[in-house]
């Protein structure tokens, strides 16, 4: 009897996506989106798409309510009284739910990011047992109660053994049915993202905020491209250590910077836990580029060239602007490792640069 | 999705209860259309609700938007739809199929209240009672246009039309402004088209020379009194545009459909409080007098009070409507009405009011003067007149109504006072034209350049400028020539214009040419 609503709904979603896409640059800078992740969908506000009407303006904010209270008491719940504006649709912001995947798709379309091709030999096949069938024999623990019950009930009704006033159902052997499984092979590509961040004294809250945003979108895009992706986090000043996600974004240390410590830690972690042939490895390093010594920077270049780049799909270096320091590390990288195409660098000075940074990282489709 | 014929008809038990409820409703002298109930699951209910109660509407994204909102509401447990009924003959109503029996009974009783209201309230008397078919026709036509003109084209035109769908005149359906018979007489002396002599195509150029036609057309335009001017300010802006704007056939058809639907839905906006109040009055009466079983009592009370619940800063139309109807019934049953009562200002005396001759006959329920009064009220009033005529200080006091206002210091709504006159005034204010501004066509040939000039009748509240400017753009898309609207903003008369390229606003002063008509 009902047709068309699915189409209308689809159309509405497309319009919404178009809106988000148009405003993507602005969305990329919204820090309130973060923290809502983890849930499958995030609700984001878009400018109301309802056609404009001639309507009353803001000096109409009074109305009639009912309840207790003396003059001066608060009268609103959410301010959505029956004001003369007759504005029952709420205010002019529409909250829509968009899944992270959809958001990542929009990101990909707008930035014209190619889908990532997992390396061929890294596509391993996993075997999984799925309970998708039914059969007459099996262990009691797999008995399908509902079906068994139905068969028993049917049998009792047919044989006249069923008594509505005393509806007890007793199974017989022939009633019992069991779940059965089938082994399915599913191709799987595994990926790990390793985030490294400089938490030395010169990285302030503002810089961390940029890192958080950038990492959020990197995560969103890579998760869209791989199933079963893992994220690992390393922080460093002069020493490096692995932390959990939460700490990664909140921790604040003082002290100097030795970037090579992080690179070494990354190398250890990957070599020990992620077999290079089976994993797509993504490395991202965020820093303000103020390394302690030029010799350490050069050591970094060596580690990159010799180990990290060969075992990874890409290495993204993102340099955020800081009030202190030279920010020279990016130049050193350009100078010494410029010929490696797996190395991608970008500078993010303000939130607005995130858009271009993401584009720089993923436009190669690796 | 299942078809209604196979799965959505009533179960035997529900059908039995429907017949019982019909019997009691008839006994209480309700007079309703035949009402067809369909049982739907929550997803189907949401789909129908997104379409405004109809199984079919023309394709448009805003129904999809409504659907998503409903779905989300349901998913987060923010309430579900209990009843939905459409004004049609026969009436169609929907029941949510996993509701408990007591809910289904309540909803059915409620629906017969609505059905009676649709059939008997004067404001519904001009609505199309075959709207179910009409909506399906609209859907078919729009789909055909989409196939021919393209989705984007038609959709954006619909968006444009929806932008002005509130510019109708709900009273105009009762006024015969044009002689019946519909179409205008085709008389070339009345239109601006020059006289054409019949001619074969190859001779047309000679018998009807283009230069002469052009000259004649110009002469006619010059001589025409005011071009396409209305005789008096026109509130039905949609109709004016329909008749005078250069629209293609399919565009005119779509605009006409949207106008028709706007008029169809208008009475529901005009009678929200009364309609819901009336239906609640009847589900309450029928359930508590006849149909409620002992074990259902608690659940019934729970859901009934949930429907009638009030929250701060919000007026619940169900609550207001049912209480006011009951108040009227009580007052008429106890003689608390008439000129003497209305004039009496001594609250104590009003409280103990005794009429000279106490009412005879039944004093409560069927056949009582109060009951007769509310039947009369449901036939003749709309929300504005309902509140205007029957709101009393005692009622405002009982219902704990207050007047609130935005407090710029705290950014919250704050109770101002409980003054009867202020509250009544504010309520009427909110209900008048159901919260829409009054917009009139003042000139269809402004400055003799075929520009459209609208005026906003100010009654205390300014137009929202940003929206007005955006709406003008859509109006321009329909009218094809520059459009203007005059409005009072902060006590200054302003003129907002859009000429297809840019939006302008200016203060109205002597130097500016005035439109053909003035707002009185």
Kindly report, residue by residue over B153-210, the tens digit of the pLDDT. Answer: 999 999 999 999 999 988 877 875 554 444 443 444 445 566 677 777 777 777 777 7
The boundaries of the domain holding residue A294 are: 188-362
Contacts of A15 in chain B (CB under 8 A): 61
Nearest residue of chain A to residue B160 (CA atoms)? A51
CB contact under 8 A, B312 and A76: yes
CA angle B182, B183, B189 (to 5 degrees): 140
Contacts of A98 in chain B (CB under 8 A): none
Interface predicted TM-score of the whole assembly (ipTM), two decimals: 0.79
As given in the structure block, the two tokens for residue B365 are 């329920």
Interface mutation vs chain A, best among B413, B428, B455, B462, most A CBs within 10 Å: B413
% of chain A residues with pLDDT over 70:
83
Number of domains comprising chain B: 1
Per-residue pLDDT at B188 = 41
Stated length of chain A = 366
Strand partners, B94: B38, B84
Q: Checking DSSP bridges between strand B438-446 and strand B35-40, what pairing results, if any?
A: unpaired
As given in the structure block, the two tokens for residue A178 are 């069991």
* E strand or H helix at B427: helix B420-431
pLDDT at A99 over 90: no
Interface mutation vs chain B, best among A13, A16, A51, most B CBs within 10 Å: A51
Q: Are residues A199 and A180 in the same domain?
A: no
The rounded Cα B83 to chain-centroid distance in angstroms is 19
A39-90: per-residue pLDDT in tens?
567 777 776 678 888 888 655 567 787 877 777 777 654 433 333 333 333 3
Per-residue pLDDT at B3 = 39
Query: Pick the residue with more confidence: B148 or A89?
Result: B148
Whether B98 maps to a domain, the answer reads: no
Q: Are residues A335 and A207 in the same domain?
A: yes
Nearest CB partner across the interface for B312, out of A58, A65, A70: A65
Query: Pick the residue with more confidence: B287 or B221?
Result: B287
Q: Are residues A274 and A177 in the same domain?
A: no
Q: Are residues A290 and A324 in the same domain?
A: yes
Cβ proximity of A140 and A181 under 8 Å: no
Cβ proximity of B196 and B208 under 8 Å: yes
Whether B126 maps to a domain, the answer reads: no
Whether A196 maps to a domain, the answer reads: yes
Last residue of a domain, one of A140, A159, A184: A184
User: E strands within B32-107?
Assistant: 35-40, 84-86, 91-96
Among the ranges A61-65, A161-165, B329-333, which has the highest mean pLDDT value?
B329-333
Residue A108 main-chain phi, psi, to 5 deg: -60, -45
pLDDT at B232 over 80: yes
Per-residue pLDDT at A58 = 57
Whether A65 maps to a domain, the answer reads: no
Report residue B130's pLDDT band, with 50, 70 and 90 as the boundaries: very high
Q: Checking DSSP bridges between strand A62-66 and strand A93-99, what pairing results, if any?
A: unpaired
What mean pLDDT do residues B423-435 have?
Answer: 84
Per-residue pLDDT at A227 = 72
Q: What is the CA radius of gyration of chain B?
A: 27
Per-residue pLDDT at A307 = 85
Collapsed DSSP state (helix, strand, coil) of residue B469: helix
* Residue in B30, B223, B8, B32 with CA at minimum distance from that of residue B124: B32
Measured in angstroms, the CA of B367 and the nearest CA of chain A are apart by 32
CB contact under 8 A, A86 and B65: no
Average of per-residue pLDDT values in chain A: 79
Whether A37 maps to a domain, the answer reads: yes
Tell me how far apart the alpha carbons of residues B469 and B453 are, in angstroms, rounded to a whole number.
14
Whether B390 maps to a domain, the answer reads: yes
Phi-psi region of B225 (alpha: psi -120 to 50; beta: other; left: phi over 0): beta
Whether B161 maps to a domain, the answer reads: no
Tell me how far apart the alpha carbons of residues A293 and B211 are, in angstroms, rounded to a whole number.
88
Nearest CB partner across the interface for B163, out of A9, A53, A67: A53
Per-residue pLDDT at B356 = 54
The CA-based diameter of chain A, rounded to the nearest angstrom, is: 92
What mean pLDDT do residues B31-46 have?
Answer: 91
Whether B368 maps to a domain, the answer reads: yes
What mean pLDDT do residues A297-303 have?
Answer: 87
pLDDT at A187 over 90: no
Query: Pick the residue with more confidence: A316 or B340?
Result: A316
CB contact under 8 A, B415 and A70: yes
Per-residue pLDDT at B520 = 67
pLDDT at B370 over 50: yes
Number of domains comprising chain A: 3
Contacts of A55 in chain B (CB under 8 A): 166, 436-437, 463-464, 467
What mean pLDDT do residues B369-383 have?
Answer: 94
Report residue B347's pLDDT band, with 50, 70 and 90 as the boundaries: confident
Contacts of A81 in chain B (CB under 8 A): 313-314, 404, 413
What mean pLDDT do residues A335-351 have?
Answer: 83
CB contact under 8 A, A65 and B313: yes
Contacts of B402 in chain A (CB under 8 A): 64-67, 69, 75
* E strand or H helix at B324: helix B317-333
Between A13-17, A253-257, A339-343, the lowest mean confidence (pLDDT) is in A253-257
What mean pLDDT do residues B245-253 have?
Answer: 92
Cβ proximity of B431 and A83 under 8 Å: no
As given in the structure block, the two tokens for residue B148 are 């021919």
Please provide the DSSP assignment of B491-503 as one string.
TEEEEEEE-SS-E
Please provide the DSSP assignment of B155-217 as one string.
HHHHHHHHTTTT---TTGGG---S-TTSSPP--TTTSSSPP-----HHHHHHHS-HHHHHHHH
Average of per-residue pLDDT values in chain B: 86
Q: Are residues A345 and A213 in the same domain?
A: yes
Contacts of B165 in chain A (CB under 8 A): 53
Distances (CA, A) of B319 to A275, A302, B365, B373: 68, 77, 20, 19
CB contact under 8 A, A73 and B439: no
Q: Are residues A145 and A255 in the same domain?
A: no
CB contact under 8 A, B56 and A3: yes
Cis peptide before B90 (omega within 30 of 0): yes
Nearest residue of chain A to residue B320 (CA atoms)? A66
Q: What is the CA radius of gyration of chain A?
A: 29
CA angle A322, A323, A329 (to 5 degrees): 45
Tell me how far apart the alpha carbons of residues B176 and B166 are, in angstroms, rounded to a whole number.
21
Cβ proximity of B429 and A84 under 8 Å: yes
* Residue in A155, A184, A158 with CA at minimum distance from that of residue A170: A155
Q: Are residues A213 and A308 in the same domain?
A: yes
Whether B226 maps to a domain, the answer reads: no
Whether B274 maps to a domain, the answer reads: no
Whether A81 maps to a domain, the answer reads: no
Per-residue pLDDT at B276 = 94
As given in the structure block, the two tokens for residue A78 are 């959410």
Q: Are residues A160 and A208 in the same domain?
A: no
CB contact under 8 A, A62 and B404: yes
Measured in angstroms, the CA of B178 and the nearest CA of chain A are apart by 28
% of chain B residues with pLDDT over 90:
52
pLDDT at A17 over 80: yes
CB contact under 8 A, B56 and A61: no
Collapsed DSSP state (helix, strand, coil) of residue A331: helix
Tell me how far apart the alpha carbons of residues A158 and A163 are, in angstroms, rounded to a whole number.
12
Whether A251 maps to a domain, the answer reads: yes
Report residue B5's pLDDT band, with 50, 70 and 90 as the boundaries: very low
CB contacts < 8 A (A, B): 217
Contacts of A60 in chain B (CB under 8 A): 461
Per-residue pLDDT at B452 = 93
Whether B376 maps to a domain, the answer reads: yes
CB contact under 8 A, B415 and A97: no
The boundaries of the domain holding residue B382 are: 310-353+363-431
As given in the structure block, the two tokens for residue B144 are 């055909």
What mean pLDDT do residues A170-181 have?
Answer: 90
Whether A97 maps to a domain, the answer reads: yes
As given in the structure block, the two tokens for residue A7 are 């189409």
pLDDT at A93 over 70: no
As given in the structure block, the two tokens for residue A20 are 């988000």
Last residue of a domain, one of A184, A201, A235: A184
Q: Are residues A259 and A311 in the same domain?
A: yes
Whether A210 maps to a domain, the answer reads: yes
Among the ranges A97-106, B41-50, B73-82, B114-123, which has the highest mean pLDDT value?
B114-123
Q: Are residues A222 and A302 in the same domain?
A: yes
Contacts of A79 in chain B (CB under 8 A): 313, 412-413
Q: Are residues A233 and A144 in the same domain?
A: no
Q: Are residues A218 and A244 in the same domain?
A: yes
Tell me how far apart the alpha carbons of residues B491 and B500 are, in angstroms, rounded to a whole number.
28
CB contact under 8 A, A1 and B471: no
Whether A75 maps to a domain, the answer reads: no
Per-residue pLDDT at A86 = 32
Query: Pick the residue with more confidence: B283 or B97?
Result: B283
Tell me how far apart the alpha carbons of residues A5 and B63 are, in angstroms, rounded to a whole number.
7
Cβ proximity of B116 and B31 under 8 Å: yes
Nearest CB partner across the interface for B464, out of A2, A7, A55: A55
Nearest CB partner across the interface for A75, out of B57, B414, B467: B414
Contacts of A66 in chain B (CB under 8 A): 310, 312, 315-316, 319, 399-402
């Amino acid at each position: 009897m009902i047709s068309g609503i699915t189409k209308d709904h689809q159309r509405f979603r497309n319009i919404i996506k178009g809106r988000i896409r148009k405003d993507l640059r602005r969305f990329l800078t919204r820090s309130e989106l973060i923290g809502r992740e983890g849930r499958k969908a995030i609700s984001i506000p878009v400018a109301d798409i309802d056609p404009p009407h001639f309507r009353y303006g803001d000096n109409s904010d009074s109305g009639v309510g009912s309840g207790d209270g003396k003059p001066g008491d608060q009268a609103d719940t959410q301010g959505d009284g029956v004001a003369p504006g007759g504005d029952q649709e709420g205010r002019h912001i529409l909250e829509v739910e968009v899944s992270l995947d959809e958001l990542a798709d929009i990101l990909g379309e707008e930035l014209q990011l190619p889908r990532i091709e997992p390396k061929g030999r890294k596509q391993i096949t996993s075997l999984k047992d799925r309970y998708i069938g039914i059969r007459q024999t099996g262990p009691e623990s797999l008995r399908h109660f509902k079906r068994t019950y139905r068969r028993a009930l049917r049998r009792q009704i047919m044989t006249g053994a069923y008594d509505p006033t005393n509806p007890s159902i007793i199974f017989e052997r022939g009633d019992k049915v069991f779940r059965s499984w089938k082994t399915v092979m599913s191709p799987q590509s595994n990926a790990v993202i390793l985030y490294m961040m400089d938490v030395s004294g010169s990285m302030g809250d503002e810089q961390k905020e940029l890192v958080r945003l950038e990492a959020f979108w990197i995560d969103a895009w890579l998760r869209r491209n791989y199933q079963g992706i893992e994220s690992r986090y390393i922080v460093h000043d002069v020493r490096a250590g692995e932390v959990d996600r939460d700490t990664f974004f909140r921790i604040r240390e003082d002290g100097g910077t030795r970037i090579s410590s992080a690179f070494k830690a990354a190398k250890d972690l990957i070599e020990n836990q992620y077999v290079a042939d089976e994993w797509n490895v993504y490395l991202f390093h965020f820093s303000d580029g103020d390394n302690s010594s030029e010799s350490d920077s050069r050591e970094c270049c060596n580690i990159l060239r010799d180990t990290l780049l060969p075992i990874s799909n890409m290495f993204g270096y993102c340099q955020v602007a800081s009030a202190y320091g030279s920010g020279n590390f990016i130049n050193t990288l350009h100078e010494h490792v410029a010929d490696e195409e797996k190395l991608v660098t970008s500078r993010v000075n303000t939130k607005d640069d995130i858009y271009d940074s993401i584009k720089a990282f993923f436009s190669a489709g690796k | 999705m299942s078809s209604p014929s196979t799965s959505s008809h009533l179960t035997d038990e529900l059908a039995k209860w429907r017949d019982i409820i019909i019997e009691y409703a008839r006994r209480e002298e309700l007079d309703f259309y035949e009402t067809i109930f369909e049982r739907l699951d929550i997803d189907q209910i949401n789909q129908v609700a997104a379409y405004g109660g109809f199984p079919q509407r023309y394709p448009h994204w805003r129904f999809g938007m409504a659907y998503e909102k409903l779905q989300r509401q349901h998913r987060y447990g923010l309430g579900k739809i209990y009843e939905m009924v459409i004004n049609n003959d026969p009436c169609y109503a929907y029941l949510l199929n996993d509701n408990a029996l007591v809910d289904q009974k309540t909803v059915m009783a409620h629906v017969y209240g609505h059905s009676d209201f649709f059939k008997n309230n004067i404001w519904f008397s001009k609505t199309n009672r075959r709207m179910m078919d009409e909506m399906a026709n609209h859907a078919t036509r729009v789909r055909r246009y989409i196939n021919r003109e393209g989705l984007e084209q038609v959709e954006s035109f619909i968006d444009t039309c929806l932008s002005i769908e509130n510019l109708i005149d709900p009273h105009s359906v009762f006024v015969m402004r044009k002689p019946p018979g519909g179409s205008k007489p085709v008389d070339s002396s009345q239109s601006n088209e020059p006289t054409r002599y019949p001619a074969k195509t190859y001779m047309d150029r000679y018998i009807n020379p283009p230069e002469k036609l052009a000259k004649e057309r110009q002469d006619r335009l010059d001589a025409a009194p005011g071009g396409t001017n209305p005789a008096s300010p026109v509130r039905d802006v949609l109709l004016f545009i329909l008749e005078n704007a250069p629209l293609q056939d399919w565009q005119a058809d779509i605009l006409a459909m949207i106008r028709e639907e706007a008029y169809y839905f208008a009475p529901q906006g005009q009678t929200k409080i009364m309609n819901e109040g009336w239906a609640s009055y009847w589900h309450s009466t029928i359930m508590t007098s006849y149909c409620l079983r002992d074990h259902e009592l608690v659940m019934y009370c729970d859901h009934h009070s949930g429907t009638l619940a009030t929250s701060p800063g919000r007026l619940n139309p169900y609550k207001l409507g049912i209480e006011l109807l009951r108040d009227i019934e009580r007052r008429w049953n106890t003689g608390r009405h008439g000129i003497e009562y209305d004039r009496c200002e001594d609250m104590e005396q009003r409280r103990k009011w005794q009429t000279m001759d106490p009412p005879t006959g039944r004093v409560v329920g069927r056949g009582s003067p109060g009951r007769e009064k509310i039947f009369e009220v449901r036939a003749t009033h709309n929300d504005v007149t309902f509140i205007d005529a029957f709101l009393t200080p005692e009622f405002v006091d009982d219902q704990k109504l207050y007047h609130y206002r935005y407090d710029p210091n705290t950014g919250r709504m704050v109770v101002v006072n409980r003054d009867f006159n202020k509250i009544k005034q504010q309520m009427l204010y909110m209900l008048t034209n159901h919260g829409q501004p009054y917009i009139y066509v003042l000139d269809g040939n402004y400055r003799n350049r075929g520009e459209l000039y609208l005026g906003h009748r100010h009654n205390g509240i300014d137009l929202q400028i940003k929206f007005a400017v955006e709406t003008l753009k859509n109006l321009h898309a329909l009218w094809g020539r520059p459009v203007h609207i005059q409005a009072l903003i902060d006590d200054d008369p302003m003129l907002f214009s859009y000429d297809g390229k840019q939006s302008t606003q200016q203060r109205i002063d002597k130097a500016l040419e005035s439109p053909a008509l003035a707002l009185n």
